[in-house]
Amino acid sequence: MDWHRIRSDFPILDQQVQGHPLVYLDSAATSQKPRTVIQALSHYYERDNSNVHRALHELSARATDAFEVARKKAAHFIGAASENEIIFTRGTTEGINLVANTWGTQNLRQGDVILVTGMEHHSNLVPWQLLAQRTGAVLKHIPVLDDGTLDNEAIDTLLTEQVKLFAFVHISNSLGTINPARELCARAKAVGVVTLVDGAQSAGHMPIDVQDLGCDFFVLSGHKMCGPTGIGVLYGRMALLETMPPWHGGGEMILSVSFETSSYKPPPHRFEAGTPNIAGVIGLAAAIDYLEGIGLENIQRHDHNLANYAVQRMSEVPGIRILGPQSGHRGSLVAFHLDFAHPHDLVEFANSHGIAMRGGHHCTQPLMKRFKVPGTTRASFYFYNTLEEINRLVEVLFAARAFFT
């Protein structure tokens, strides 16, 4: 793959920050967008802007066709059995909350167990806390070992028939750990437990096949995979979606309405009340086309090479502590703590040298507490990053050491 040519598809990367060429290492927070996605958004607003599903005129027909084609592309992208298993949401967070407020409220009772892991993003923790408070369920978590992997023995102890839902992250946004999703789903299924996989950091970075994973629900955010912000996907097995009540009420999700009662459309429209983010859906489809044109296997290999090279080079910096797997198969990010600088100070220093990173707890406060750090600095990569940029990062880390000490 000509990764340097592919990099040129991203106009935002061709700029200087603080007098230095931009080195964007914050893709775990949000990825940059290729021209094709930007153009798809512009084309919709310039040529096809109209509401979907509700009018008979030409613009609405074109917008509706593009909207539903995007649903089919999303289904194919993650290996869903049908496009009707694809619900468009604002992102991963809304997808998880939708499941918690529909399936969860309907199925959880006093004393039932919701199982998560110790590395969850707040978006895959707080909704379950709220659900537990509403229903009387109990929230438990699988501990994280020192190497950033899950405690396998604890899984055997905690994953019992008392668990009604097991929700876990596919790739940790703070450790880079790639959890064995297929194995975890199989172990859950063996004891009758419903599973939800948080794919915010895996979709767009590796091939995803929800049927192969064996999960019941899968959530993703478009803005982390070259798509627009404010759009995401909730996949649910149709057998479950058909049993779930609506969450939001309004237009489009109904079959009939009277003052006394309403009846609702089947999935997915039952869960898509109101005017959707039409442009976002169309932009997400363009992002899917773009990623599939490169090949998810190619992206995964490139991510792997970048992350392992970064661990190798960054380990040269005195006083660094890298969290998560130190070698081998890991996600495309490196979170670290330096003994000479607070993460916030370090990211400000890096920004003065044109490097964009993230510093803080990364919405994983329990995980930071477990590793006894106030936060970490995170360098996260995507296929538009280069080995040269990692070398530049290491130069700046050495400069930071000299500056702060």
Taken in order of first residue, the domains within the chain and their CATH numbers are: 3-30+296-404 (3.90.1150.10), 38-292 (3.40.640.10)
Examine the residue annotation and report whether 215 is marked as an active-site residue of this protein.
no
Spell out the residues 6+ positions from residue 96 whose beta carbon is closer than 8 angstroms to its own: 123, 124, 127, 167, 196, 198, 219
Let me know: does 150 contact 178? Beta carbons within 8 Å: no
Q: How many CB atoms lie within 10 A of CB 181?
A: 24
What pLDDT is stored for residue 201 in this prediction?
98
CB 123 within 8 A of CB 365: no
Question: Which residues does residue 16 pair with via DSSP β-bridges, in sequence order?
Answer: 21
Question: How many CA atoms lie within 13 Å of 305's alpha carbon, on the beta-carbon side?
Answer: 13
Using DSSP, state whether 205 is helix, strand or coil. Answer: coil
pLDDT tens-digit map of 304-350:
999 999 999 999 999 999 999 987 789 999 999 999 999 999 999 99
Interval 224-274: pLDDT, tens: 999 999 999 999 999 999 999 999 999 999 999 999 999 999 999 999 999
Given a cut of 70, the residues of the chain with pLDDT beneath it are none
Q: 3-state DSSP call for residue 142? A: strand
Cis peptide preceding 366, ω within 30 of 0: no
Q: Which of 379, 364, 376, 381 is nearest to 144 (CA)?
A: 364
Q: Shortest CA distance to 222 belongs to which of 209, 234, 237?
A: 234
With a CB cutoff of 8 Å and minimum separation 6, the contacts of 56 are none
pLDDT tens digits along 64-74: 999 999 999 99
* Annotated catalytic residue within 185, 215, 226, 363: 363
Burial class (CB in 10 A: 0-12, 13-18, 19+), 67: buried
- Among 230, 188, 219, 182, CA closest to 33: 230
Write phi, then psi, for 21 (nearest 5 degrees): -60, 135
106 close to 123: Cβ distance less than 8 angstroms:
no
pLDDT of residue 197: 99
DSSP string, 5-20: HHHTT-GGGSSEETTE
Helices and strands: H and E segment counts in the chain: 15, 17
